[in-house]
Structure 1
Amino acid sequence: MLVLGVCSLKGGVGKTSVTLGLASAALERGLRTLVVDMDPQGDVTMSLGARPDEGDISDVLDAPSAESVASATVASTWAESGLDVLVGSERNARHDRLGDDDLDRLRFALSWVHDYDLVLVDCPPSLGSLTRTGLTACDRAMVVTEPGLFAVMAVGRAMRTIDELRRGPAPSLQPLGITVNRVRARSLEQAYRLEELGNLYGPLLLTPSVPERAALQQAQGAAQPVHAWPGAAAAELSGIFEALLERALRAPRR
């Protein structure tokens, strides 16, 4: 079971959109997938059509156990089976102030999870305890950015955070790489930032990049996987997310 964290230390770059694109690709591939919504905004939970039943991620972090995980896990409406959500909650914001001694709570909770091929952890767009807790549970971390000055600067902070966790509470964590989202073909500024990212991070800059396409937001607004959305743009995006997922699945794990 691969546990892949999707993170960004700058909001508004489409981190959750990338998580949903990967979930769509995993569903298309037939992988049994669990999406963990660590973000108190709960956008992944809403977009996956998951209706909270009894518990949520906040209860899991309060008391990690097989029972708390089971009560907080519900099926996505994207498919009849194969895609579940460990549902998010605004109540989870209080866990953003936990100390470093508590960063292993999600990892401990996932030790009871055995029925999946892939776990996607959608982290909040901040450098708080929730992001650190999410990444501590992961084998690999994907950093999402867009080709803009402030977003590129945030990539460096994210990569340093991953390295700090790897040297501390998460020795198995490794960076998968950097996914650039919302790329516009004719933007000179974006072309400059893409070159800058390539110079800074080399092979950690994942390809292909994700182009800016309205189809992605349309599919998410309708609570549908991008693979099920009609049109050439959706088909293009589907192929890109399949390639990024394949890169994650091929990454060596300890």
Structure 2
Amino acid sequence: MQIVSISSLKGGVGKSSVVLGLASAALEARIPTLVVDLDPHGDASTGLGVHARSGKDVGSVLRRPRRGALGAVATASPWAQHPITPETPVATAREWAPDASARSRRPVLDVAPGSAASSHLDHAAFRPRDLRRLETALRGLDRYELVLVDCPPTLSALTRMAWAASHKVLSVAEPSLFSVAGTQRTMSALAQFEGSRVWAVPEAGVVVNRVQDSSPEQQHRLRELRELFGPLVVDPVLPDVSVVQRAQGAAWPVHRWPGSEAEDLARRFSTVLEGLTR
């Protein structure tokens, strides 16, 4: 099981959108996946068509975590039942079909839903043992090959416990002045976290989201990100396209949304996922 946290210390950069895109790619590749929504806003859960019930959410589990406890609140996303829409070109459906070994698998995309119940851990103060809460709650859930953790946009105990449990951390950035600064804060905080020698994260990267090719300012900031973080910047970048909002509004995976815009975005997310699971 590989655990990947998607993080940013600046809100509004589309962090949850990246989680949803990667979840869509994993579903299409038939990789058994669990999305853990640590953000008290629960946006990833909403986008995946799952709503927390009282006592059946991440926050409730993390109060007194036990081995594998997230399995008890994991809920199947309706995405796994969505067919490819009739409007989707046949070529697109063939192109994104999984290989023969994966085709026989039943699609698995579950969600450990987020809610305001996790706010009790969304603060800076923490004890070292707090950082083991998520790791403990995930331990033994071998039915999943991939876990995607949507972190809150704060350097809180929630974010740190996600990093502590993760094999990889992706920092989401936009090509804008404030987001570049926010990415520097995220990566610096991650480096300090790794400096403890107890909670070192094996790999980290920067996913650049909402890129407008026609914007000279954005292209300048994209070059700046590449200069700052070099090979940590993930290719391909993700474009700023309206299909993201349309698919999310329908709680529908982008890989099964019709049109060339969705096809290009789906291809990019699949490439990013392939790099993560390599």
Same fold (TM over 0.5): yes
1:139 matched to which residue of 2?
167
Total equivalences in the alignment: 250
2:95 matched residue in structure 1: none
Amino acid at match of 1:58: G
Distance of aligned partners of 1:133 and 1:67 in 2 relative to their CA distance in 1, 3 Å threshold = closer
Which structure exhibits the higher relative contact order, with contacts defined as CA atoms closer than 8 Å and separated by 6 or more residues? 2
Partner residue, 2:71: 70
| Aligned-residue offset at 1:190 | 0.6
Q: Distance in 2 between matches of 1:127 and 1:194?
A: 24
Amino acid at match of 1:146: E
1:88 alignment counterpart? 114
- SS of the counterpart of 1:113? coil
Counterpart Cα distance in 2 of 1:21 and 1:128 = 24
1:197 to 218, 225, 239: 225
Structure 1 alignment gaps of length 5 or more: none
Contact kept? 1:162, 1:175, Cα under 8 Å: no
Rg larger for: 2
Cα deviation 1:141-179 (Å, max 9, x = unaligned): 001000000100011111122222222275441343111
Amino acid at match of 1:79: A
Counterpart residue identity of residue 26, structure 1: A
The answer on whether the counterparts of 1:139 and 1:172 sit within 8 Å (CA) in structure 2 is: no
Q: CA 1:143/1:67 → structure 2, altered by over 3 Å: closer, same or farther?
A: closer
Unaligned runs of 5+ in 2: 82-106
Alpha-carbon contact 1:59-1:68 (below 8 Å) kept: no
CA contact (8 A) 1:52 1:87 kept: yes
Matches for 1:215-234 after TM superposition, within 5 Å: 215-234=243-262
Q: Give runs of aligned pairs for residues 15-34 of structure 1, distance below 5 A.
A: 15-34=15-34
Q: For residue 213 of structure 2, give the secondary structure of its aligned residue in structure 1.
A: coil
- State the match for 2:11 in structure 1: 11
**Residue type at the aligned position of 2:143:** D
**Counterpart residue type for residue 109 of structure 2:** L
Cα deviation for residue 217 of structure 1 reads 1.2
* CA 175–160 in structure 1, closer or farther in 2 if over 3 Å, else same: farther
Q: Whole-Å Cα distance in 1 between the matches of residues 268 and 166 of structure 2? A: 23
Q: Deviations over 1:164-220 (max 9, x none)?
A: 222227544134311110000111111111111111111011111000010011101
Q: Distance in 1 between matches of 2:68 and 2:47?
A: 25
1:166 and 2:194 aligned: yes
SS of alignment partner, residue 79 of structure 1: helix
The answer to whether 1:41 aligns with 2:37 is no
Aligned equivalents of 2:52, 2:77: Cα separation in 1: 11
Spell out, residue by residue over 1:55-75, the C-alpha distance to the aligned partner (whole angstroms, 9 max, x if none).
110111111124742332111
CA distance in 2, matches of 1:74, 1:35: 10
Task: Give distance in 2, aligned partners of 1:70 and 1:248.
Answer: 23
SS at match of 2:80: coil
1:130 Cα shift? 1.2
- Contact 1:104–1:137, Cα closer than 8 Å, also in 2: yes
Matches within 5 A, 1:91-102: 91-97=117-123, 98-101=125-128, 102=130
Across the aligned residues of Structure 1 and Structure 2, the Cα RMSD in angstroms comes to 1.5
Match of 2:131 in 1: 103
* 2:5 and 2:151 in contact (8 A); partners too: yes
| In 1, Cα distance between equivalents of 2:43 and 2:180 | 23
CA deviations on 1:100-139 (whole Å, 9 max, x unpaired) are: 4211110111113111010000001111111111111100
SS at match of 1:103: helix
2:39, 2:193 → 1: CA distance?
A: 19
Larger deviation, residues 187-196 vs 90-99: 90-99
Q: 1:112 to 1:232 in 2, by over 3 A?
A: same
1:19-55 superposed Cα distances (whole Å, 9 cap, x missing partner)? 0000000000010000000000000111111133451
